[in-house]
Structures are given as C-alpha cells and as structure tokens.
Amino acid sequence: MDIQTVLFDLDGTLTRSGEGIINCARYAAEQMHCRGPEDWSVFIGPPLVDSFRRFCGLGEAAAEEAVTWYRKRFREVGWEENAVYPGIPRLLRSLRAAGIHAVIVTSKPEEFAVRIAERFGLSPFIDGIIGPGMGEQQPDKEHLIRRAMSQFPGLYVMVGDRVFDVEGAARAGIPSIFAAYGYGRMEEAEGAMAAAESPQALLDLLLPEGPRARGLFLSMEGVDGCGKSTQQQALVAEMQRLGWEIVLTREPGGEEIAEKIRQLILDPGNTGMQDVTEAYLYAASRAQNARMRILPALERGEMVICDRYVDSSIAYQGGGRQLGMDRIRELNAWATENCMPDLTVYLRMEPHEALARRLSTSVPDRLEREQDSFFQRTFEAYEKLYDGRDGWRVVRVNAANSIEAVTQEMLMRVRQRLADLAKRDRQNEQE
C-alpha cells in the first residue's frame, strides 16, 4: 500500500477507553433516572446522543442532557480511565520513521482527544487531531474524515473498530482497515479492505516491508535502600498503560548465565573476592544480559526496563571500590557494545538515609555489609556522573519523599522526557 496519511479512530483503535466511557455512560443514565443496556460496551464508539436514545430510550432533548452529564464526569475523571493498546507506540513510531502522516479522527470532542493524546504519550507521533468542537452537533464520521482529508495529503486509509468508521470511510471514498482487537463485532468489518487482529498485525498491513522503529531502553539507578524495587513496579505499570510492551530485567543477572554470575557475586561466603574480579563479574553478567536480552528486545521495538546497568558499576566499582570511573566505563562499553539507556531514572538519596531504610527492612548480603565510606563514595560517584556528561539522559527524583510522592514525580517526569525524546527524533529526521 502506498499510503501517505493514516486516519485513526481513537477509542477502541488507539486506546482502550472502555472503562471511562462505560463509567460515564452509567453515571449519566443514573442522573437521568433511566435504565441502560445489558452490555454497556455498546456506548464505546458511536455518537453518544444516538446511544442514549437507542439504549436508554431517551428523546432528543433528554439524550442531549444525558450527554452533558456524561461530559461532566468525563472531564473530571473519566478521561484518565484509559490505556493505550499494547503495540501502538511501536506502530506510530514506525509510521513516523516511514514518513507517513498519522491523524486522529474521532467522534470525541476534539478538546478531550487532545488531552488524551497528550496524557498517554501519543501526541509526538500524531500530525493532527480532528473531532467535533465542544458545542458542535456531533457530525458523522464521513464529515470528520472529509475534514481530515482537506488538511492532510492523500492517499488515505481509515483505521477504526466500528461500522461507523468503515461506512464513513466508504462514503468519503477511501479504503478502511477494521481494528478487530477493538470494541466492534466482526460483522462491522463488512466493506473494510482488511481486518487487523492486533496493533502488530495492523503495522504489518500498513508497512509490510518496514521500517520498524527501535524500542526504548530505560534503566533505574540509586544507592542500596533508595526504594528502587517499589518504584520499578509503578514505572512498569505506567509504561504498560502507555502501550509499551515491556521486557523487565535486572543486573547483576537478568539472564540464565548472568543469574549464575549474580549468585557468585552476592554470596556472603566469598569474602576473599578481589575488587577487580568483582568488576569483571559485573561486566560479564552485563555482557550476557545486553546481548541475549536487551539488544534483541530493542530490535523488536519493545521497551526494556533494567534494574541497574552500567552506571551501577561506574558508581560502585569505579567510585565505591575506587577502581576509577573511566576505566569501569571503558570495560563496560566493550561488554555491552556501547548499548546505553535512552533514559535513566535516578532515585537520589543520601547514603545515611538509605542506610537507615536498609537496616529497617532486611538482613544485609555481602555488599550491603560494606562500610559507610563505601556507600558515601558510591553516592558521590553517581552525583558526579549525572552532573557531568551523562546528565542528559537522567531523570533525577528525590527519593527521600513519601513513596506516593516519589511515584508521582517520577511518572510525570518520565512521561515528559519520553515526549522530549520523541521531539528530538523528529527534529533529527527533519534535518
């Protein structure tokens, strides 16, 4: 297919917005004291006024009023009860890499669609958003599609999960692909030129010969006791909500052979382990993990989240063990084929605070029994590293705050940084 612009429906095609839509429809029906359908998912996709008339038995004016209630709840909380389908980031990034425009064409008021695209990380990959204005009578899909076509170059294809998308496209004179993973029933695909069972299948239909965007590599760093494990769970959940397929890994370890190396390193019995031996073992574990797990996942377009990476060695072995930050950096560059994270979350905590937390939660292993001065040097090495040439990729979060506050700050700043990274890629492409 020689496509220049892909028009995407939003609900049920890019985002799994069912939860928010259903909650708001139920709320509106309650406010109107009317009953609703058995299965509320019928509200997902078609124009709301029609649905309230059809499924709640409301007249024209009452249906309009129900929509007002719906919007009230939607504006407050419903719009965030949403998630991007797994694989959509890869799809949109690959379209961008191929120079194809992506435009959202939705029956949702444009204002909401813009907010959702921003919040869920879609905006950097979208060239335009076409939806009805807030006061506007809901125009049908055909008109919205025509509006998009007047602003973006053809050849077009419309992608959507409902009969409205398929028929609207046909009336506007363009082909459509049915998003079979969305909320529509298979009969609704009638007239579409193809059906895609998943965003991945959609990508294969739109770009059978590539290119495929590379994935993203995130790492997490901080001194022992900074709360990394807890925050990692929150980070993974949020990235999944943004549609990323995640490969979670850790160092030392993360891969079969690397996990064996991990046991060797952490064994409390190995009191005679030389510092240099330790540095090589970490690098060996990482060589294995980088080649076997991280690089292949990035090739597949997935997101890797790694609990500790090269920076840990630079800080712990380079700083803590005083082997020299530059030497450890070089050793690891070789071990990893220079594969470095696109973004590093640094949970910053002073060593004395981290120590207090550690002692209150677990029995220390070999490394955790180190002297305070070791952790102090490690901390200082991290600070030096991130104040210097590696600062550009770091999201620094004050880990001494409450767990919830740290999570909030971290997620907000990571989302912001991902948007910045996308903008940077875009500028590079234009140059």
Interface with ligand TYD (CB under 6 A): 224, 228-229, 250-252, 282, 307-308, 312-313, 316-317, 367
Decide: helix, strand or coil at residue 15.
strand
Determine the Cα–Cα distance for residues 329 and 309; give it in Å rounded to an integer. Answer: 11
First-residue to last-residue Cα distance in the chain: 27
Determine the Cα–Cα distance for residues 305 and 298; give it in Å rounded to an integer. Answer: 11
Shortest Å, Cβ 321 to ligand TYD: 8
Question: Quick one: 231 or 317, whose CB is closer to ligand TYD?
Answer: 317
Shortest Å, Cβ 267 to ligand TYD: 12
Question: Quick one: 244 or 316, whose CB is closer to ligand TYD?
Answer: 316
Using alpha carbons, list the distances in angstroms from residue 387 to 33, 92, 132, 135, 328: 60, 33, 47, 50, 18
Question: Quick one: 204 or 370, whose CB is closer to ligand TYD?
Answer: 370
Determine the Cα–Cα distance for residues 109 and 127; give it in Å rounded to an integer. Answer: 17
Decide: helix, strand or coil at residue 270.
coil
Look up residue 49 and give its two tokens: 């006024």
Shortest Å, Cβ 293 to ligand TYD: 14
Question: Quick one: 288 or 312, whose CB is closer to ligand TYD?
Answer: 312
- What b-and-e string marks burial along 290-311, b requiring 16 or more CB atoms within 10 Å of the CB? bebbbbebbeebbbbbbbbbbb
With CA atoms as reference, report the closest residue to 2 among 122, 166, 153, 149. 153
Question: Quick one: 110 or 370, whose CB is closer to ligand TYD?
Answer: 370
Shortest Å, Cβ 294 to ligand TYD: 13
Using alpha carbons, list the distances in angstroms from residue 238 to 112, 148, 254, 259: 20, 31, 21, 27
Shortest Å, Cβ 382 to ligand TYD: 11
Cα 239 to chain centroid, rounded: 4
Question: Quick one: 343 or 422, whose CB is closer to ligand TYD?
Answer: 343
Determine the Cα–Cα distance for residues 96 and 86; give it in Å rounded to an integer. Answer: 18
Question: Quick one: 165 or 278, whose CB is closer to ligand TYD?
Answer: 278
Question: Quick one: 112 or 309, whose CB is closer to ligand TYD?
Answer: 309
Look up residue 157 and give its two tokens: 């294809």
Beta partners for residue 178, in sequence order: 160, 195
Shortest Å, Cβ 328 to ligand TYD: 8
Shortest Å, Cβ 252 to ligand TYD: 5
Q: Identify the H or E element spanning 8.
A: strand 5-8
Look up residue 15 and give its two tokens: 């985002």
Shortest Å, Cβ 250 to ligand TYD: 6
Question: Quick one: 13 or 317, whose CB is closer to ligand TYD?
Answer: 317
Query: In the bound complex, which residue of the shown chain has the CB atom lying closest to ligand TYD?
Result: 316
Shortest Å, Cβ 282 to ligand TYD: 4
Determine the Cα–Cα distance for residues 176 and 100; give it in Å rounded to an integer. Answer: 16
